Chain A
Amino acid sequence: MPSLGTSFGRGGATDFQQDLQNSDCIVIMGSNMAENHPVGFQWVMEARERGAKVIHVDPRFTRTSAMATKHVGIRAGSDIAFLGGVINYILQNNLHFAEYVEHYTNAPVIIDEEFADTEELDGLFSGWDPEQGEYDVQTWMYEGMEVHGAAGQREEGFDPTKGEQSGHGGGGSGLHHGEPPAEDPTLQHPRCVFQILKRHYQRYTPDFVAETCGCSVDDFVEVAEALVQNSGRDRTSAFCYAVGWTQHTVGVQMIRAAAIVQQLLGNMGRPGGGIVALRGHASIQGSTDIPTLYNILPGYLPMPHTEDYGGLDGYIAANTSPTGWWGHFDAYFVSLMKAYFGEHASADNDWLFESLPRIDDDNSAYFTVQQMLEGNVKGYIIAGENPAVGHANGKAHRLGLAKLDWLVVRDVVEIESAAFWYDSPEVESGELKPEEIATEIFFMPAAAHTEKDGSFTNTQRLLQWHWQAVDPKEDCRSELWFYFHLGRLIKQKLEESEDERDKLIKALRWEYPTHSAIREPDAESVLQEVSGWEIGSGKFLSGYKELKADGSTACGCWIYSGCFKEGINQTARKKPHWEQDTYVAPEWAWAWPDNRRLLYNRASADPDGNPWSERKRFVWWDAEQGEWTGLDQPDFDQQKPPDYVPPEDAEAEDAIAGDHPFIMQADGRSWLYVPQGLEDGPLPTHYEPHESPFDNPLYSQRANPRRQQNKDLAEDPYNPVANEPGSDVYPYVVTTYRLTEHHTAGGMTRSVPYLAELQPAMFCEVHPDLAREVGLEHGGWATIYTSRSAIEARVMVTDRVRPLRMKDGRTVHQVGLPYHWGKRGLITGDSANDLAHMALDPNVHIQEVKAFTCGIRPGRRPRGPELPKFVAELREQAHSRREQDPRVEPEELRKTSS
């Protein structure tokens, strides 16, 4: 999460779930926690029972709202307007936690005088390049901070622009011993971050919020007040979010907005505070820490790009921050290369850096699908994912798969992505015919979690080991087995090859002990490599501080370093919580980094190192002992005193002052304003969703100018928007979501009898007014359609999805769609994602399925060939009208004018 990464330094939830019980106010927004994280929600209920306010801000009244002390319904996609309103409310009324903001955030920092705000440029920040459709971030910098790297912003701050997690706040190269060149502690300077913030949000008044979000002024003020009254020295508030924020074309900025609120209120790094990112998969945090993502290497080290760095040094330099913990980038990278290539990687051959594959700006999943459709991708391996149902615009994915030469699908059941060639809407409609599909398909039965050893990293960065209970049956195998033996086979077959191309794979260290009849690789030996050792002695590393850049240490993921310290699998620690002294339970499993459970916890003490209050004491400076101590592992150099001032020549962590808690940041502070690391602006700004029935009330710039679109992709047409002619064909806002009873694309739940019966059919949730408007009957059928496709669903007429009255007196109706269904399984139904488009957030390339537009009518959808016809007719109808009077997006206008 570059949002959290750029703001605080690490792309992970800042708090742990159990700590929510200490919150005085919990705002759940962009999340349906009670339904999708029911067991984690027990900690919210604990807080509620202790008298905490629980506020749910969401387009729908869900099982979470039912448990909240306050629910505010807002229009899907208007979250930044709401949070911006909170920020403005705090600033206008001077309600921020002054001492915290001055010392721990970059509020006092003065910004380059070239910087121009959206308020000045009608919805664009300075540096917009209409040709490229990108920002040049030079003008966003701290005043007097030189920017280097020919390729501009990409090279700054850990390749912020290239993928969800890479946006670590390592930026700020050239900071003078960790201190920004120019700041104003009084926060009065017109160009200091604090004042810029004030100006940027001055128009986000309660009335504006009400008109834009469709809630009442009172409800908004009640929420803002609740947050303010429950923050400060003696009280803390927490935010919980999930993909309800992430899955927007401004998803990253939504999270950023919450980050700003929490900084102004001084809730970061403190018990019962922070921002809890609620992840939806068992190891989705792990799969970004140890990425199966194109743009990063383990530990958020950026993949090298397709340009000439001038050798390893160039790459290191471009990614090293002189100050803060990113100062040791070289050690992290070299240790990874040693783990990957062992003795083959040496100082003389630059640790094989030049042989590493290079990436382009975007090689993400949606890019790959487009490449499939264009026939550029020949082979594809799918392991535990179901794009045919789970990805936006399922049809495009299915058509793409049909263009492959070969496809490997690994799963426990035969999912839609394996069966698309004979059982899919396209086969039904005749758009795909099995006898015409050239794709060779291997379905490989997978082993379940009960049939293998391994570790999951949960939503709070906790690595938890699970032991194998039984042997996998017949052909079922773990991914560990599949990829290990696949690699072994390939290396075997290429043993003799002299081809330069095969140098790297031949150099790959690939020896792992195996056990049992099927020769299952030993998972712990892999974890040992991840944790790292000292080459030669073979001594296990105790943490990333021991990593060396001289090739004397090997470590597969620097932030996980120490998870096998002393040769003990730290992730397998299962000491019961009742046998531990504190609720922090540090001896249960292992958290990155360095087993710290509450990140930035130095901030739980005031600048002098004393707890802000007795009630909220967590980590503090023990003067006698001369060290930081408390309930948790201090997220700070343990011996660095609060009054430490870095010497002139200080580097890396030594350049971080004793009263700057955010040790991953170049300046040791949290960033209210992000000078670099984000594609679409240093501050969150309200933009309408890519598809929305409304214009932007603030600017002529309607949607995020930097959002990724596929304008030329026939398979991904967009609905006319706002007041465009033709937009009335798709007049309603649709939002997709999960239900407690099912899991994502349904492969793991539609196959389970006990779960299938609990939510047995696809349905849509609509308000009685909408039902009346279009003639839907409760319990009947509805057909929902967009430019992409049409699906059918049973109708649930309920007040829980409320229509919202907007500024212009228009009423906007919202349609709720769970997205769990597909054509396979014990229960089947149409897939909501077939309706969605593939316009993406520019930072993380995530699709906008939480807010787009649709039409809805009573009755079941057309069958067979009639379906695509039905969709096409409506699309033509809408688009032809648009063509007569084409609307040009402002960013386009600017292009032509320049």
Chain B
Amino acid sequence: MKVSGSYVVPVPQERAYALLQDPAILTKCMPGCEGLDLIGENEYAMRMKMVLASVSGLFAGKVKISEANPPASFRLIVEGNGKIGFMKGEGLLTLSPSGDGTNVQYEGDVHVGGTIANVGQRLLDTTARMLIKRFFEKLASEAGQSERRLAAD
């Protein structure tokens, strides 16, 4: 499944890029993420609890950042495995200035398998878009907060 879109984050490009590499920020922004542990260069083990209405599932997986080209672009790879299925998402995020903020454009591919793929195809696209939206909304709010903290310092 192809996904693409863009969101504006209210911080300058360098700052946005840094936030997107920050495991603490990623943990907060990735829906359901319960923690990232560094296991290699730009690579983290991930624990995730996805809850969507009645559906819930625990996933264990990895988050990896590659092709880093600060502050312009990088590739984000997220993988998770759980009893209800597994997923792998890979996307190129491209940052560019947009007014006072940064436009983050993403383009990628999401692969889903197991029960959630077998019985959930009607909702996969909707859900993927919703989760991406939540990620960026959270990122925007975190970015805003971090800006205020920086300004206060």
Do the two chains belong together in a single complex? no
